Amino acid sequence: MSNPLARRGFLVGGAVIGAGALVTACTSNEPAAQPTAAGTQPASPPAAGSDNDQPGKQITMGFSAPAADHGWIAAIAKNAEATAKQYSDVEFKPVEPTNDINAQISAVESLIAAKVGVLVILPNDGQQLNQVARQATEAGIPVVNLDRIFPDKLSYRTWIGGDNYGMGVAAGHYIGKKLKDKGVSNPVIVEIQGIATLPLTQDRSKGFADALKTYGFSVTAQQDAQFTVETGNEVASNLLQAHKKIDAMWNHDDDQGVGVLAAIKEAGRNEFFMVGGAGSANAMREIQSGNSVLEATVTYSPTMASSAVRLGRLIAQGKGMSDLVENQVPQSITLASETITKDNVAQYLPLGFES
């Protein structure tokens, strides 16, 4: 068996399966019926159903994302490509994935120069890639901003991503309710963040703290990792050594959670329960086993990349979403963070990604 600390799986598992479920509404708007005469009933809303998945205007879609050295990012790229291939009217044009800010800027500039019809960008850092995204929009290329947001709304046509604050809230409610139901007072609650400087991490921590507060609880200790197996293992080991008794733990990221769980098993600790984050397949299997400290994970699904591709196609073709009355794709779409437990894990497992 391979060393769990060296696991850097890039398989998506079933992540692509059902990826379209997040934006099943991405089908065309039928024109509203017109009133037959003055004073009659108002026009009816657009009819349900459409043919937007049928071939339409041919478009070229540029795609840029960080390097796939993390299970979640790997699934982002796989989902985007797989969804684009479902459409004969989409020419998918990905650039080399990279974790280098300047290299990603250059790659996006090359897509602008190629005059693609739409850009889907998951930036390494929204602040640092804001200007090149703005260049794209000013060149008439709509940008679908995926996950890490550009601070300037003029830099993107539509943003789609997970609910980071909602992730924290979901984790906080699961932990708070369970501890309250058990009658635990003054619990020791530890939190393992991802990258502390990212706004998404700060949002997750705020949501967690706000939810815990409703139960009269607060975080005892908080330490950041770097979204990697190795850092997850190191941080968890430090926290376990510093706290001889823990009641609950929230780990922001299931990829780094591989290392966190390895540290817990190595220490022989099982007096607490743990909640993960993102919804990886290996985390779900731990939950399903029923013999792990990991009892739940809160979703931040990479299927959002599939939805971003669908949205980009609609925008480039001048179409809207059939389940909405409006003729245009919304400016912002925040996906819900759902709580996966042993009771519903079988439903979510096909959407998991491999860490």
For residue 93, being part of any structural domain is answered with yes
- For residue 219, the model assigns a pLDDT of 98
Under a CB-based contact definition with an 8 Å cutoff, are residues 309 and 84 in contact? yes
Q: Are residues 128 and 277 in the same domain?
A: no
pTM of the model: 0.81
Q: Are residues 14 and 112 in the same domain?
A: yes
* Domain end point (choices 277, 299, 321): 299
- For residue 48, the model assigns a pLDDT of 43
Q: Are residues 131 and 178 in the same domain?
A: no
**What CATH number is attached to the domain comprising 99?**
3.40.50.2300
- For residue 216, the model assigns a pLDDT of 98
Q: Are residues 9 and 153 in the same domain?
A: yes
Q: Are residues 234 and 156 in the same domain?
A: no
Q: Are residues 97 and 112 in the same domain?
A: yes
Q: Are residues 187 and 111 in the same domain?
A: no
- For residue 68, the model assigns a pLDDT of 85
Q: Are residues 144 and 221 in the same domain?
A: no
Overall domain count for the chain:
2
Place of tokens 């779900």: 284
Range of the domain at 106: 4-34+46-161+303-334
- For residue 14, the model assigns a pLDDT of 35
Q: Are residues 30 and 145 in the same domain?
A: yes
- For residue 346, the model assigns a pLDDT of 96
Under a CB-based contact definition with an 8 Å cutoff, are residues 195 and 201 in contact? yes
Smallest CA-to-CA distance from 319 within 17, 18, 23, 22 is with: 23
For residue 192, being part of any structural domain is answered with yes
For residue 55, being part of any structural domain is answered with yes
pLDDT digits 0-9 by tens, 285-317:
999 999 999 999 999 999 999 999 999 999 999
For residue 345, being part of any structural domain is answered with no
CA distances from 238 to 167, 228, 304, 324 (A): 24, 16, 33, 49
Q: Tell me how crowded residue 245 is: count the other CB atoms within 10 A of its CB.
A: 9
Q: Are residues 130 and 204 in the same domain?
A: no
Q: Tell me how crowded residue 237 is: count the other CB atoms within 10 A of its CB.
A: 17
- For residue 50, the model assigns a pLDDT of 62
For residue 149, being part of any structural domain is answered with yes
Low-confidence ranges of the chain (pLDDT < 70): 1-50
For residue 129, being part of any structural domain is answered with yes
For residue 343, being part of any structural domain is answered with no
Buried b vs exposed e over 203-225: b needs ≥16 C-beta within 10 Å? bbbebbbebbeebebebbebbbb
For residue 339, being part of any structural domain is answered with no
- For residue 247, the model assigns a pLDDT of 98
Q: Are residues 145 and 170 in the same domain?
A: no
Percent helix / strand / coil, the chain, rounded to 5: 40, 15, 45
Q: Are residues 149 and 266 in the same domain?
A: no
pLDDT digits 0-9 by tens, 219-233:
999 999 999 999 999
